[in-house]
Amino acid sequence: MTDRKASVCVLGGGSFGTTLANLMASEAVPVTLWLRDPEMARHIREQHENPRYLPGIALDERLQVTTDLNAALATAEIVFLAIPSSSFRTVLQQIGPQLAGKQVVSTTKGIEQPGFLMMSQIVEQEAPEAHVGVLSGPNLAKEIAAGELTATVVASEDEQLCRDVQAVLGCANLRVYASQDRYGVELGGALKNVYAIISGMASALGMGENTKAMLITRALAEMTRFAVHMGANPLTFLGLAGVGDLIVTCVSPQSRNFQVGHALGKGETLEQGVARLGQVAEGVNTLRVLKQKAAEEGVYMPLVDGLHAIVFEHKPLPAVIARLMSAEQKNDVEFAAFMSAAPVKS
Amino acid sequence: MTDRKASVCVLGGGSFGTTLANLMASEAVPVTLWLRDPEMARHIREQHENPRYLPGIALDERLQVTTDLNAALATAEIVFLAIPSSSFRTVLQQIGPQLAGKQVVSTTKGIEQPGFLMMSQIVEQEAPEAHVGVLSGPNLAKEIAAGELTATVVASEDEQLCRDVQAVLGCANLRVYASQDRYGVELGGALKNVYAIISGMASALGMGENTKAMLITRALAEMTRFAVHMGANPLTFLGLAGVGDLIVTCVSPQSRNFQVGHALGKGETLEQGVARLGQVAEGVNTLRVLKQKAAEEGVYMPLVDGLHAIVFEHKPLPAVIARLMSAEQKNDVEFAAFMSAAPVKS
């Protein structure tokens, strides 16, 4: 592809899918948003607003909307997937063959069980002829939709895919950085929700800035330890899809994960918190899956263990905190030894 | 050394020195705090309070205080340096020979010009027979003094020094992690203040969570790029002395650096901001030194360049932001290529 902007299709009319599609439409990229609900499609087409997921945000008039999946895909060169993890494989099974030769970029975070599969690994299975990538970063949809400045990462082994996504998505409000570590970028997006629960808990306990920064940093060390064990590049976690996304997730009190953590910190049980908030937070499911995988793989994850003990084993919070603070004092960044430090310049 | 706790001396009665000494005293470590002001020494000895730097915090009665530098050093096995960077070399010149064979740990952040020297490099020059280390992390003194949980990093090529510092300083409220990358740990502590100014500016401009997380992440990438060029280990910046300290510095509105940034973001000039706040922020000096060093070394630091343009070249803020957001979209973590990513497990 050259300077001509590729044709794009975005699958999924939730807040992130709508935001992405709208951003590209407003930069004159030919883009079609696919969603299931004909009523919502009509509303977006006529009122230029997504009342359920982005109420009050005026969408660009050039944004095309359809409920016809085949039509949406027919002319698209780049396909962004912004469908919930619960229906991800079902949708992919329908359209797998049509994705052959296309650039397919997942923006969905989640882990499929059994198999501990990331969403882009499902794409590989269901659309083996597609070029596969992922998009992740400190990207609260409502802020991007409101025109706030931010940055994101496109990750793929396929460098052409990265360049093409940078070309259609990069604009004055969004910088798009490239990475070759698809698995690491995707894992960061999936794991962070567990640590947002812990941050909510710390906030409920009135912990100070040192403590919150320590928690985010040790969360990062723990995520990275797990990811490196699974084959990712530790340096991915220094970037926007690692620490960047972790910070935004851990400091934003709006997320359900943070709110569940806050309820736990105030002494509610998981059941009470969920009953009051009306929905299970994604991080709770990730916690269960991650605890099991870490045990199978023999990876040391004290924050995951501690949170699991509180949430599922009903251990008292102070005892878990005391155990965390009294564990053996190890190295700050244990895989630092992988890199040989050059001599100090002076 | 064995389980017996080493004798410790802390030089410097500011908020951090007093906090460190008090923490050890309350864990029954034999510790002496040295400071210059006889009046303050008497007050601490009699009232168990440091009224200037930690008003309202009750200090442990076992904390010894002296104004006699030689007496303070005579029996100490571990010496913590918490003196301001402006008088650091002068004090070291007085006591260099007495430090022979001792473990000397600098907690002071700063860069000496000319020479671009970290404080521990000054210790090496003035006390060539000492074992040298540094201490750094997300460590706001007032929060540690108030008993909040946190963690810190001791960094030294000398593993015995790291273990001994872990033994005297680690306790239920403070975890002490070890690192071998002294230069990286120390550089992180010195550079972060520049980015706290930028965070204050972002706050004044009402920027969203995505934007703030992006700024911290790109700040981290930029600090790491510079540090790696200077010989540090990039993975140090994943740890408490890198991202941990950066987060706490960038989100704490109390710091002078943040406040100067806030003033700049509200449209004041540096001169107006400094006049109102009554003191030059350390980050302003670091900015000048760093801009020059980055130019000499040919290291790309767009945030430092942008801030320098605003502070010292009086460029308008919107133009600098627009230039930052329209720069070429590069790789997320450029030195990621240094690590070979292993194949993805599934």
A98-137 tens-digit pLDDT:
999 999 999 999 999 999 999 999 999 999 999 999 999 9
In chain A, residues 72-91 whose CB comes closer than 8 Å to chain B:
none
Q: Which two tokens stand for residue B15?
A: 């908020």
Annotated binding residue A13: yes
Alpha helix segments (H runs only) across chain A: 15-25, 38-47, 69-74, 88-95, 119-126, 141-145, 159-169, 182-204, 209-229, 245-251, 256-265, 270-277, 282-297, 302-312, 317-326
Q: Which of A176, A90, A71 is nearest to A134 (CA)?
A: A176
Average pLDDT over residues A305-328: 88
Instruction: Report the distance separating Cα A32 and Cα B65, nearest Å.
Output: 72
Q: Would residue B119 be called left, alpha or beta, if left means φ above 0 and alpha means ψ between -120 and 50 degrees? A: alpha
First to last CA, chain A: 47
Lowest average pLDDT, out of A116-130, A185-199, B324-338, goes to B324-338
Banded model confidence at residue B325, pLDDT cuts 50, 70, 90: confident
The conformation of residue B331, written as its DSSP 8-state character, comes to B
Banded model confidence at residue B282, pLDDT cuts 50, 70, 90: confident
- B220 and A243 in contact by Cβ < 8 A? yes
Tell me whether residue B206 is exposed, middle or buried, using C-beta atoms within 10 angstroms of its C-beta: 0 to 12, 13 to 18, 19 or more.
Answer: exposed
Q: Which two tokens stand for residue A40?
A: 């919502």
Q: Which two tokens stand for residue B144?
A: 């540690």
**Helix, strand, or coil here: A219?**
helix
Q: Is any Cβ of chain B less than 8 angstroms from the Cβ of A342? A: yes
Candidate from B144, B182, B332 with C-beta closest to A241? B332
**pLDDT of B337 higher than 70:** no
Question: How many contacts (CB atoms, under 8 Å) link A and B?
Answer: 266
| pLDDT averaged over every residue in chain B | 92
Instruction: Report the distance separating Cα A6 and Cα A27, nearest Å.
Output: 12
Cα three-residue angle B256-B262-B268, rounded to 5 degrees: 110
CB A44 within 8 A of CB A37: no
Annotated binding residue A53: yes
Instruction: Report the distance separating Cα B338 and Cα A181, nearest Å.
Output: 13
Lowest average pLDDT, out of A198-207, A330-339, B14-23, B257-266, goes to A330-339
CA distance A344 to chain B (A): 5
A198: CB partners within 8 A, 6+ apart: A215, A219, A250, A261, A303, A307
- Does the CA dihedral B82-B88-B90-B96 come out positive or negative? positive
Average pLDDT over residues A85-96: 96
**pLDDT of B266 higher than 90:** yes
Active site residue A192: yes
Q: Within 13 Å and on the Cβ side, how many CA atoms surround B68?
A: 6
Tell me whether residue B76 is exposed, middle or buried, using C-beta atoms within 10 angstroms of its C-beta: 0 to 12, 13 to 18, 19 or more.
Answer: buried
| pLDDT given for residue A1 in this prediction | 44
Candidate from A166, A220, A338 with C-beta closest to B243? A220
Average pLDDT over residues B339-344: 36
CA distance B163 to chain A (A): 9
Average pLDDT over residues A166-192: 96
**pLDDT of B92 higher than 90:** yes
Find the closest chain A residue to B233 by CA distance: A341
Q: Would residue B286 be called left, alpha or beta, if left means φ above 0 and alpha means ψ between -120 and 50 degrees? A: alpha
| pLDDT given for residue A332 in this prediction | 78
Banded model confidence at residue A344, pLDDT cuts 50, 70, 90: very low
**pLDDT of B339 higher than 90:** no
Instruction: Report the distance separating Cα B172 and Cα A291, nearest Å.
Output: 26
Average pLDDT over residues A164-168: 96
| pLDDT given for residue A339 in this prediction | 45
Q: Is any Cβ of chain A less than 8 angstroms from the Cβ of B211? A: yes
CB B132 within 8 A of CB B102: no
In chain B, residues 106-125 whose CB comes closer than 8 Å to chain A:
115-117, 121
Q: Distances from the Cα of A208 to the Cαs of B142, B150, B252, in angstroms? A: 10, 9, 10
Q: Which of B64, B60, B76, B57 is nearest to B1 (CA)?
A: B76
Alpha helix segments (H runs only) across B117-269: 119-126, 141-145, 159-169, 182-204, 209-229, 245-251, 256-265
Candidate from B117, B179, B335 with C-beta closest to A235? B335
Candidate from A121, A207, A221 with C-beta closest to B346? A121
CB atoms within 10 A of CB A312: 13
- B344 and A117 in contact by Cβ < 8 A? no
- B326 and A172 in contact by Cβ < 8 A? yes
CB A283 within 8 A of CB A197: yes
| CA dihedral angle for residue B266, residue B268, residue B270, residue B274, rounded to 10 degrees | -90
| pLDDT given for residue B330 in this prediction | 76
Tell me whether residue B52 is exposed, middle or buried, using C-beta atoms within 10 angstroms of its C-beta: 0 to 12, 13 to 18, 19 or more.
Answer: middle
Q: Which of A334, B300, A29, A3 is nearest to A20 (CA)?
A: A29
Question: Does A318 sit behind a cis peptide bond, omega within 30 degrees of 0 on the bond before it?
Answer: no
Interface test with A, best of B159, B199, B247 (most A CBs within 10 A): B247
CA distance A207 to chain B (A): 7
A171: CB partners within 8 A, 6+ apart: A23, A27
Q: Which of A204, A337, A226 is nearest to A287 (CA)?
A: A226
Average pLDDT over residues B32-53: 96
Instruction: Report the distance separating Cα A79 and Cα A33, nearest Å.
Output: 10
In chain B, residues 217-276 whose CB comes closer than 8 Å to chain A:
217-218, 220-221, 224, 230-241, 243-245, 247-248, 251-252
CA distance A66 to chain B (A): 30
The conformation of residue A75, written as its DSSP 8-state character, comes to T
pLDDT in tens, B180-231: 999 999 999 999 999 999 999 999 999 999 999 999 999 999 999 999 999 9
Interface test with B, best of A333, A345, A346 (most B CBs within 10 A): A333
| pLDDT given for residue B1 in this prediction | 43
B46: CB partners within 8 A, 6+ apart: none
- A209 and B248 in contact by Cβ < 8 A? yes
Q: Is any Cβ of chain B less than 8 angstroms from the Cβ of A326? A: yes
Q: Distances from the Cα of A74 to the Cαs of A71, A79, A97, A98, A168, in angstroms? A: 5, 11, 12, 8, 18
| pLDDT given for residue A131 in this prediction | 98
Domains of chain B and any CATH numbers: 8-180 (3.40.50.720), 189-331 (1.10.1040.10)
- Provide the residue type at B183 as one letter: Y
Q: Is any Cβ of chain B less than 8 angstroms from the Cβ of A319? A: no
H or E stretch including B105?
strand B103-106
Instruction: Report the distance separating Cα B318 and Cα B325, nearest Å.
Output: 11
| pLDDT given for residue B3 in this prediction | 56
| pLDDT given for residue A139 in this prediction | 95
Annotated binding residue A36: yes
Q: Helix, strand, coil: what percent of chain B each, to 5?
A: 55, 15, 35
pLDDT in tens, A279-296: 778 899 999 999 999 999
Place of tokens 């408490």: B240
**pLDDT of B280 higher than 60:** yes
| pLDDT given for residue A337 in this prediction | 52
pLDDT in tens, A320-343: 988 888 876 677 776 665 443 333
Lowest average pLDDT, out of A41-50, B79-88, B335-344, goes to B335-344
